[in-house]
């Protein structure tokens, strides 16, 4: 259903889970990549707060602000013709409670034209999810390794290991679904735990480092496309775009310095 939808909507996500169709999600931070991924048939584009460490040079996502997110989200939403566009609520913009979360989400939705917002946390964020849902704003949850809490978690570590931790994660997932979330991201979760969560919640699960049994998968696009020298263990490099871009830039520099570009073909004559 998501393959044939002219525009992916909330009900398409739910229908895909019901039919056993895998959903696809990639991050995007600008119109150029958003248009490429949209044309490729990606179902969901996530304007992630990962913009902080992928595009802005921060060590973590924590410095990212709403003011950082809005221009990126506006560009992605404007370029996407089919994909369901989700925008992260950055750290500090929703934790105070439902009122703060609603104010932030309304601002982002009005300013960008996005389809949904995403926030981290299970039971602790259930009231925020419910407030946004009651206001008509679709919400995607985020459990497992939650980057905005990386200082508390001790860095990027697998979450949900052991019976007690797995039970806690499952309880959080149920709370997120019961609060009205339309989907939930499971990051760096043992595959059997993610499979169990996928089985017990009615909403789609979107895995990142969470095994094969999730209803969909998401990757940060620079990891997926091989833009750097390193990528996380769970992120397969589906291309080496960074190397190709470096080669193109090197060729450009060489030709300009050798005065072979521009040539007659790329110049104007009176």
93 and 111 belong to one structural domain: yes
208 and 251 belong to one structural domain: no
Q: Is 5 inside a domain boundary?
A: no
The number of beta carbons lying within 10 Å of the beta carbon of residue 251 is: 11
Residues 52/60, Cβ–Cβ less than 8 Å: yes
Q: Is 135 inside a domain boundary?
A: yes
270 and 196 belong to one structural domain: no
CA angle 217–118–84, rounded 5-degree value? 60
248 and 207 belong to one structural domain: no
The DSSP secondary-structure symbol of 22 reads P
Q: Is 167 helix (H, G, I), strand (E, B) or coil?
A: helix
Q: Is 186 inside a domain boundary?
A: yes
90 and 184 belong to one structural domain: yes
182 and 267 belong to one structural domain: no
254 and 224 belong to one structural domain: no
Q: Is 170 annotated as a binding residue?
A: no
Q: Is 88 annotated as a binding residue?
A: yes
Q: Is 262 inside a domain boundary?
A: yes
Pairing of strands 205-208, 23-27: unpaired
pTM of the predicted protein model: 0.96
Question: What is the structure's pLDDT at 21?
Answer: 97
Which residues span the domain enclosing 166?
10-239
Q: Is 50 annotated as a binding residue?
A: yes
Count: domains in the chain: 2
The number of beta carbons lying within 10 Å of the beta carbon of residue 97 is: 11
122 and 227 belong to one structural domain: yes
153 and 268 belong to one structural domain: no
57 and 171 belong to one structural domain: yes
CATH number at residue 146: 3.20.20.60
**DSSP of 41-92:** T-SEEEE-TTHHHHTS--SSSTT--HHHHHHHHHHHHHH-SSSEEEEEPPTT
Question: What is the structure's pLDDT at 178?
Answer: 98
Residue 227 phi, psi dihedral angles, 5° rounding? -85, -15
**DSSP of 192-257:** HHHHHHHHH-SSPEEEESS-S-SSEEEE-HHHHTT-SS---TT------HHHHHHHHHHHHHHHHH
222 and 118 belong to one structural domain: yes
Q: Is 125 inside a domain boundary?
A: yes
Mean pLDDT by 10 residues, the chain (270 residues): 84 97 98 98 98 96 98 98 98 98 98 98 98 98 97 94 98 98 98 98 98 98 94 94 97 98 93
108 and 43 belong to one structural domain: yes
Q: Is 2 inside a domain boundary?
A: no
Kind plus residue range of the DSSP H or E element containing 17: helix 10-19
Q: Is 1 inside a domain boundary?
A: no
Q: Is 188 inside a domain boundary?
A: yes
Residue 24 phi, psi dihedral angles, 5° rounding? -120, 140
Catalytic residue numbers, as ranges: 187
d(CA 241, CA 12): 31
């Amino acid at each position: 259903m998501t393959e044939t939808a002219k525009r992916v909507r909330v009900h398409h996500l739910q229908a895909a889970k019901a039919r056993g169709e895998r959903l696809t999600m990639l991050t995007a931070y600008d119109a150029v990549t958003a248009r490429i991924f949209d044309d490729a048939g990606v179902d969901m584009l996530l304007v992630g707060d990962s913009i902080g460490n992928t595009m802005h040079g921060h060590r973590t996502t924590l410095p990212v602000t709403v003011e950082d997110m809005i221009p990126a989200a506006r560009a992605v939403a404007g370029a996407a013709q089919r994909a369901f566009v989700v925008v992260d609520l950055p750290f500090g913009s929703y934790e105070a409670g439902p009122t703060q979360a609603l104010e932030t989400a309304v601002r982002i939705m009005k300013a960008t034209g996005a389809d949904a917002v995403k926030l981290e946390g299970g039971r602790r964020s259930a009231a925020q999810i419910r407030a946004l849902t009651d206001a008509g704003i679709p919400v995607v949850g985020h459990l497992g390794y939650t980057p905005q809490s990386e200082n508390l978690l001790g860095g990027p570590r697998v979450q949900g290991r052991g019976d007690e931790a797995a039970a806690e994660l499952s309880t959080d997932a149920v709370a997120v679904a019961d609060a009205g979330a339309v989907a939930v991201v499971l990051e760096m979760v043992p595959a059997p735990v993610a499979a169990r969560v996928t089985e017990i919640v009615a909403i789609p699960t979107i895995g990142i480092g969470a095994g094969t049994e999730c209803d969909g998968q998401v990757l940060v696009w620079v990891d997926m496309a091989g833009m750097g020298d390193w990528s996380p263990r769970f992120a397969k490099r589906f291309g080496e775009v960074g190397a190709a871009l470096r080669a193109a830039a090197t060729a450009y520099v060489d030709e300009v310095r050798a005065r072979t570009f521009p040539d007659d073909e790329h110049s104007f004559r009176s």
